[in-house]
Amino acid sequence: MFLLSIGKLTQASLLGLLIITVSTVTMAETENRFITVTGEGEVSAVPDTAWVTSGVNTQASTAAKALSDNNKLMQEMLEVFSDADIDEKHIQTAGFNIHPIYDYGANPNPPRLNGYQVSNSITAKLTDLDKLGELLDDIVNAGSNQVSGIQFGFNNDEELLDQARQNAMANAMKKARLYAKAVDAEVGDVVSISETGAILPAPVFRHAEMAQSKIMDSGSVPVMKGEQELIATVTVVYELDN
């Protein structure tokens, strides 16, 4: 009886081991393999839009007089933008300040108030860059004595971004095929796609703050638009086929 019991136990153990082995092989045969890659796509293009920030600084013995002079010059500058067919919705106040002007002198006496300074600046969006150089000349001639920045970019960048995204997907597939070949496999179906980044071009500024007389004597302002890059990044998960 004792030997019979041992035999039955051994038989049961072998049967259990066989079941476990078959289950493990079946799982290994049906388990999917995946590969995750990140693709990056770039598109370069010449900007078609500029944002110009310009303004007027005035000084006078009183704040009221400095403000009055500033308002007059600003109105003339706004007329320049109007003549350039720039819509009012594309013109925005960028800054407005009134500061007292003190003479501190070279002695320990209290500073003396010498007057006031008023600064007013606006940012205008220009979609015809062929007019940019002429526009800069005109706003200076109208009274602007401060051009604090020119930012280049795109009026509508969605089409460019879509091209960058397509390039990113092509880059991801290229990487996936390279890695799959290294392990004697082929790229299968796409499991998931996630956009991990879409980088718009960084603002490119052209700083130009100088005396009005120097600008007026310099002739037409040369403008260099250059190129800007838009970048899209995607993470893609593919199945690997044997």
Q: pLDDT tens digit string along 182-204?
A: 999 999 999 999 998 777 655 44
pLDDT score, position 204: 46
User: Residue 183: helix, strand or coil by DSSP?
Assistant: coil
Rounded to the nearest 10 degrees, how much is the dihedral formed by the CA atoms of 119, 122, 123, 126? -130
Beta strand segments in 164-227, E? 186-199, 204-205
Question: How does the average pLDDT of the chain come out, rounded?
Answer: 82
Nearest Cα residue to 77 out of 3, 127, 12, 147: 147
pLDDT at 93: 94
How much of the chain, in percent, has pLDDT values that exceed 70?
77
Structure confidence at residue 27 as a pLDDT band (50, 70, 90): very low
Report the predicted TM-score, pTM, of the whole model to 2 decimal places.
Answer: 0.66
DSSP letters of 101-133? EEE--SSSSPPEEEEEEEEEEEEEEES-GGGHH
What the chain holds in terms of domains, given with CATH numbers, is 30-45+156-201+227-242 (3.30.110.170), 49-153 (3.30.70.2970)
Residue 201 has what pLDDT? 58
> Dihedral of CA 10/13/19/22: which sign?
negative
CA distance linking residue 227 with residue 42, whole number of Å: 12
Lowest mean pLDDT among 52-61, 114-123, 138-147, 216-225: 216-225
- Stretch 84-90: mean pLDDT: 92
